[in-house]
Amino acid sequence: MRIKIIENFIFVLLGLIVVVLVYLQIIRGEHYYDQSVHNRIRVIPLEGPRGMMVDRRGTVLADSHLVYHVAVIGQDVQDQDALFNFLSGVLKKELKNQFLKKQKTPFTPVILAENIGRPTAIAIEENRFFYPGLVVQESYERTYPFGSQDAHALGYVGKIDADEAEALQNYGSAFSVVGKMGVEKTYDALLRGDSGGRQIEINSRGQEVRLLGLKNPGQGQDIQLTIDERIQEAASQLLDSRPGAVIVMDLSNGDILGMVSSPSFDPNAFYNYLHDPAAPLFNRAVAAAYPPGSVFKIPLALAAVELKKISPEQTFNCPGYYLLGRARFGCSHVHGPENLNQAIAHSCNVYFFHVGRMVTARVTAQYAKALGLGRATGVDLPFEAAGYVGGQLNSTVPHWYTGDTLNFSIGQGDTLTTPLQLTVMMAAVADDGIILRPRIVKAINHQDLPPVDLRKLPTVRLHEATWRLIQQGLRSVVTDETGTAHELNDLTGMTVFGKTGTAQAGMNKPNHAWWVGYARSPKSNLVFCVFLEHGGASSHAVDLARHLLLRLQQEGMI
């Protein structure tokens, strides 16, 4: 009886063994075969260089050069002590604790030293076969010859983070970089090189046995930008690290010829700027929104003329203030009687207080939005701010008073704009309502992008006389002896138009200073914006604009 039980038990065990063998070899055989192959075969990724970036004249703005990194694959390491003793001797620093802290999974390479130099790379490579798990990886480092001068336009690159790794599935390796800001981010898919790799067979000790295959990496596509490095240099020097921004744009097609935000950062080594309270990584030209101050009087003036709320000759007296009940709203000077042209030239607040009440904040906001304020311009750069144009009751402004309309009329209170938006608005005024879409890329892989068809761009349709009156006022800002930008009138060989703005910043901080204008000459027609964050009076922005135009003239650009 006992023998029978033992026999049955043995048969059951044998049956179980057969079932497990069938499951492992037949049902799951392919899976375990693949695993064994993967344990035997390694793919060493090879990164391709990112494409170059050049300015409109071909000057190199961003390039890549070959570098070497050291990494360790944990699951292949056989003798940690021997490995890290060797590395510490070559690299002159302790790396074992760093490896243990960084290691997430056994099969993911942990980068322990970057850009080690060719002689050191050769010394490690010669001994790599004695230390399984050790990898010397070729990669490419991004270099920016002009440093901080172009940083906000070009952006910078960095290691792939967790969110990007999920979005960019199957792209790159632990050594890969992606664009984090500027053109580097917007055009990352074109700029980054095609990854390649070496497929090798290893033995049970993790040592390379033979090369099974090789896929050479490919270089990313080159990109030519619309910017001119001469303008970048001039604007950067004139800002001289003062917080602010300078934009220069071609009136004929929206090409951004210059875009500098200050303070800036060196994209070759940006890590030190991440926690700087001056926010050098912040692109003030595109991503920052500020009260526009008196520049906002332009859409109000257009609305008042177009809707015949005023006549060009109609005057309002400016005693230096405007009384609303007991509240006193100030003006910069005692201007006396002012008509439209004079009020634009002198930036008379009292005149526009009267006009603002006649037009209403709601209608003023409609014209401002039609001119591109309160929405992104569509420039091919990331993180563009939309700004905001209110002017009426909403969830954040449950009560709207006449005093709000007065503030709104001079670009204070319920409105925020970016320097780029005001540049586009001024271009629309210069070209009778054409809303340009600014762009910063001129050509991809040596192929020019299609030219801009102005007929297909959105256009603000107003009477021709309306445009001429406002353009005349913007010219008087420069030609009138008491105009707010009269110092620009001595610039020969060009005709300059524009509007100053001094915007209150609140919290007892200095005012923001604006100059937004355009210049016509036989050589070119340019629109430009100078913004100085907490720069005080608008005259400081005008002075910078004057020096910038002189530099462009010296370079033969205007």
Whether 93 and 219 share a structural domain: yes
Query: Is 550 within a domain?
Result: no
Give the number of domains in the chain: 2
Whether 247 and 383 share a structural domain: yes
Q: Domain with 67 in it: what CATH number?
A: 3.90.1310.10
What pLDDT score was predicted for residue 164? 57
| 245 neighbors 284 (Cβ within 8 angstroms) | yes
| CB hemisphere CA count around 164 (13 angstroms) | 17
Strand partners, 72: 110, 134
Q: What is the pLDDT tens value at each position of the chain, 558 positions in all? A: 667 677 666 766 776 776 656 655 676 555 544 544 445 666 666 778 999 999 999 999 999 998 898 988 887 888 888 888 999 888 888 888 888 888 876 667 888 888 888 999 998 988 888 888 898 888 888 999 999 999 999 999 988 776 655 555 555 555 678 899 999 999 999 999 877 766 767 665 555 667 677 677 788 999 999 999 999 999 999 999 999 999 999 999 999 999 999 999 999 876 556 667 777 888 999 999 999 999 999 999 999 999 999 999 999 999 999 999 999 999 999 999 999 999 999 999 999 999 999 999 999 999 999 999 999 999 999 999 999 999 876 666 778 999 999 999 999 989 999 999 999 999 999 999 999 999 999 999 999 999 999 999 999 999 999 999 999 999 999 999 999 999 999 999 999 999 999 999 988 899 999 999 999 999 999 999 999 999 999 999 999 999 999 999 999 999
Query: Is 552 within a domain?
Result: no
Sign, CA torsion 298/300/305/310: negative
Query: Is 487 within a domain?
Result: yes
Q: Residue 271: which residues within 8 A CB-CB, separation 6 or more? A: none
Residue 345, domain extent: 229-540
Domain boundary among 225, 256, 282: 225
| 178 neighbors 158 (Cβ within 8 angstroms) | yes
> What gap in Å lies between CA 350 and CA 332, rounded to an integer?
9
Ramachandran category for residue 355: left, alpha or beta (phi over 0 → left; psi -120 to 50 → alpha): alpha
> What gap in Å lies between CA 440 and CA 421, rounded to an integer?
15
What pLDDT score was predicted for residue 35? 44
Amino acid at 317: N
> What gap in Å lies between CA 15 and CA 12, rounded to an integer?
5
Q: Residue 113: which residues within 8 A CB-CB, separation 6 or more? A: 69, 70, 87, 91, 95
Domain boundary among 205, 225, 245: 225
What pLDDT score was predicted for residue 411? 97
Residue 398, token pair as written in the block: 């449950």
What pLDDT score was predicted for residue 272? 58
Residue 479, token pair as written in the block: 């030609």
Amino acid at 77: V
Whether 135 and 239 share a structural domain: no
Ramachandran category for residue 120: left, alpha or beta (phi over 0 → left; psi -120 to 50 → alpha): alpha
Whether 387 and 343 share a structural domain: yes
Residue 382, token pair as written in the block: 């990331």
Query: Is 555 within a domain?
Result: no
> What gap in Å lies between CA 549 and CA 552, rounded to an integer?
5
| 484 neighbors 500 (Cβ within 8 angstroms) | yes
| Residues in the chain, overall count | 558
Query: Is 198 within a domain?
Result: yes
Amino acid at 523: K
What pLDDT score was predicted for residue 395? 62
Phi, psi at 319, each rounded to 5°: -85, 5
Query: How would DSSP label each residue in 5-61?
Result: HHHHHHHHHHHHHHHHHHIIIIISHHHHHHHHHHHHEEEEEEPPPPPPEE-TT--EE
The Cα-based distances of 99 to 84, 112, 131, 348, 495 in angstroms read 9, 7, 15, 66, 64
Query: Is 522 within a domain?
Result: yes
Whether 320 and 438 share a structural domain: yes
What pLDDT score was predicted for residue 433? 98
Q: Domain with 415 in it: what CATH number?
A: 3.40.710.10
Query: Is 25 within a domain?
Result: no
Strand partners, 208: 202
Whether 281 and 312 share a structural domain: yes
Q: State which H helix or E strand residue 63 sits in.
A: strand 60-73
336-338 and 327-330 strand pairing: unpaired
Residue 473, token pair as written in the block: 């006022």
Whether 218 and 359 share a structural domain: no
What pLDDT score was predicted for residue 105? 66
Whether 476 and 530 share a structural domain: yes
The Cα-based distances of 332 to 198, 336, 346, 348, 350 in angstroms read 71, 12, 9, 7, 9
> What gap in Å lies between CA 42 and CA 77, rounded to an integer?
14
Whether 201 and 250 share a structural domain: no
**Cα 301 to the chain's mean position, in Å?**
32
Whether 212 and 271 share a structural domain: no
> What gap in Å lies between CA 46 and CA 365, rounded to an integer?
54
Whether 211 and 250 share a structural domain: no
Mind spelling out the 3-state secondary structure of 445-481?
A: CCEECCCCCHHHCCECCCCHHHHHHHHHHHHHHHHCC
Domain boundary among 161, 192, 225: 225
Burial of residue 233, with CB atoms counted within 10 A of its CB: 0-12 exposed, 13-18 middle, 19 or more buried:
middle
Decide: pTM greater than 0.75.
yes
Burial of residue 114, with CB atoms counted within 10 A of its CB: 0-12 exposed, 13-18 middle, 19 or more buried:
middle
Query: Is 493 within a domain?
Result: yes
What pLDDT score was predicted for residue 521? 96
| CB hemisphere CA count around 408 (13 angstroms) | 30
Whether 243 and 160 share a structural domain: no
